[in-house]
Structure formats: structure tokens, C-alpha cells
């Protein structure tokens, strides 16, 4: 077993365990903390795939900012009464059905579909493409327009978030 395999098993194990723990906790704050751990483990998996930029993004944006938002929303909503969601009849069956569907889909994708090997010839190059420098170079040559469009998207998001939030304050 190489170091990579060991690390993969470690991270994948953490990710799977924490995600199960997250959805089974009755205390929503504890569930949120498990989600942070889950995000961290996913970042590790990204690193193992040589997707450094994704890993950094995962930690900064997901485990950082989004989780802060989650926790504030939890505190804002006073979720004491939210535990009754399991009392809706058929909820669990429905959830299991959806989860099973997604599982089958992913399994199918992984096991029975390998057309990506047939078509894209340069797999090694695509693995090396995950470094921040490569992404930066791509962003500033081929993807300038989406980059600036994202700037406008975020400006609209800033203004919009404040409008919707202010609605509540006033």
C-alpha cells in the first residue's frame, strides 16, 4: 500500500463516517460541525487527486464561509422545533429512495461508463492541470470572460443579499 492509498482510505473513511453522523445527529449544531469535518476530508481527497486549487477553495469557501453562514442561520432560526421532520409519514422511505437512486447512478457512472478514457487522450495533463498556477493561466487566457462575468455575478449577489436581508430588518 502506498502512502496515497492509505491517505485515501483515511480521508474517504472520515468523509463517509462524518456524513452519516451528520444526518443522524438530532442536535443541529453538532450536525453542522460534522459537516465541517466532512468538508475537510473532501479537501484531502481533492489534494490526493492533485486538485490543489479545489482543495483550497473547499477549505476557504465551504468549510470557512459557508459553514459560518450555516451556523448563523441555525442560530437565527432557533431550530428547537425542527426535530419533528421525521414524523412526516413516508419521509424516510422517500429519502432512502432518492439516496438509492443517486447511488445507482453513481455506481453506473463509475462501473459501466468509461468513455472518458476513449475520448480525452491526455489524462495525465488533466491531472497536472489542478495547480493554482495552471488554473490562473487558464483563467487569464481562455476564461477571461467568465471570470469578469463572475465579478458581475458577485456584485449582483452583494446587492441582492443586502436587499433581501434588509427586507427582514425593516
Partner 1 sequence: MNFQSLINSLQYIKPEIVIAVVIVLVVTTDLIMGKNKSLLPWISIAGLIVASFFVIEQFSFKAVSSNANGSIGMITADPFGAFFKIIVIVSSIIIVFFSLSSNEIKEAFERHGEYYTLIFGMILGMFFMISSADLILIYLSIELLSLSSYILAGFTKHSLRNSEASLKYIIYGGASSGIMLFGISIIYGLTGTTNLYLLNSFFHLPQFGGFIFWLACILIFAGIGFKISAAPFHFWTPDVYEGAPITITAYLSIASKAAGFALLIRFIKVTFIDSVDASGYWQLLNLIDWKSFLILISILTMTLGNFAALWQSNMKRLLAYSSIAHAGYLLLGLAVLSDQGLIAILIYFAIYAFMNLGAFFVVMIIANKIGSEEIDDYKGLGYSMPFLSFSIAVFLISLTGIPPTAGFIAKLYLFIALVDAKMIAVAVIALLNTVVSLYYYIKVLKNMYLVRPEKEMPAVLVSPAAFAMLIVLLVPIFLFGIYFTPLVNLAKSSIGLMGF
Partner 2 sequence: MLTEFGKIFIFMLTAILFTVVAIFVARLIRPARPTHEKLLTYECGEDTIGSPWVKFNIRFYVVALIFLIFDVEVVLLIPWALVYQQFGVGGFLVGFIFLFLLGLGMAYEWRKGDLEWIRPELKHSVLKKTKTEKQILKEETVA
Q: Which residues bind partner 2 (CB under 8 A)?
A: 3-4, 44, 47, 50, 52-53, 55-57, 60-61, 64-66, 68-69, 72-73, 75-76, 78-80, 131-133, 135-137, 139-141, 144, 147-148, 150-152, 154-155, 157-159, 161-162, 165-166, 168-169
Nearest to partner 1 of 79, 160 (CB atom): 160
Please provide residue 84's backbone torsions phi and psi, each rounded to the nearest 5 degrees. -80, 5
Site for partner 1 in 63-122 (CB under 8 A): 108-109, 113, 115-116, 118-120, 122
Nearest to partner 2 of 22, 58 (CB atom): 58
169 touches partner 1 (CB under 8 A): no
144 touches partner 1 (CB under 8 A): yes
Residue pair 63/40 in contact by the 8 Å Cβ criterion: yes
- Of these, 27, 126, 128, 131, which contacts partner 1 (CB under 8 A)? 126
Q: How big is the site for partner 1, counted in residues (CB under 8 A)? A: 30
Q: What is the DSSP string of 52-113?
A: HHHHHHIIIIIIIIIHHHHHHHHHHH-GGGGGGGGGSTTHHHHHHHHHHHHHHHHHHHHHH-
Q: Taking the chain, what is the end-to-end CA distance rounded to the nearest angstrom? A: 60
List of residues 6+ apart from 126 with CB closer than 8 A: 120
Rounded Cα distance between 55 and 47, Å, is 6
Residues that bind partner 1 (CB under 8 A): 108-109, 113, 115-116, 118-120, 122, 126, 141-146, 148-150, 152-153, 155-157, 159-160, 163-164, 167, 170
Amino acid at each position: 500500500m502506498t502512502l496515497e492509498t492509505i491517505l485515501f482510505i483515511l480521508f474517504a473513511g472520515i468523509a463517509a463516517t462524518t456524513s452519516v453522523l451528520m444526518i443522524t445527529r438530532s442536535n443541529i449544531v453538532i450536525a453542522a460541525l460534522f459537516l465541517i469535518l466532512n468538508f475537510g476530508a473532501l479537501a484531502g481527497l481533492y489534494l490526493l487527486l492533485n486538485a490543489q486549487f479545489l482543495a483550497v477553495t473547499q477549505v476557504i469557501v465551504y468549510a470557512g464561509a459557508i459553514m459560518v453562514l450555516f451556523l448563523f442561520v441555525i442560530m437565527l432560526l432557533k431550530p428547537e422545533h425542527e426535530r419533528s421532520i421525521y414524523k412526516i409519514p413516508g419521509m424516510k422511505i422517500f429519502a432512502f429512495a432518492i439516496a438509492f437512486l443517486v447511488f445507482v447512478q453513481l455506481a453506473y457512472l463509475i462501473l459501466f461508463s468509461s468513455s472518458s478514457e476513449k475520448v480525452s487522450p491526455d489524462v495525465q495533463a488533466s491531472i497536472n492541470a489542478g495547480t493554482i498556477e495552471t488554473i490562473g493561466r487558464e483563467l487569464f487566457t481562455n476564461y477571461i470572460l467568465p471570470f469578469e462575468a463572475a465579478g458581475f455575478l458577485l456584485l449582483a449577489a452583494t446587492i441582492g443579499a443586502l436587499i433581501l436581508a434588509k427586507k427582514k430588518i425593516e
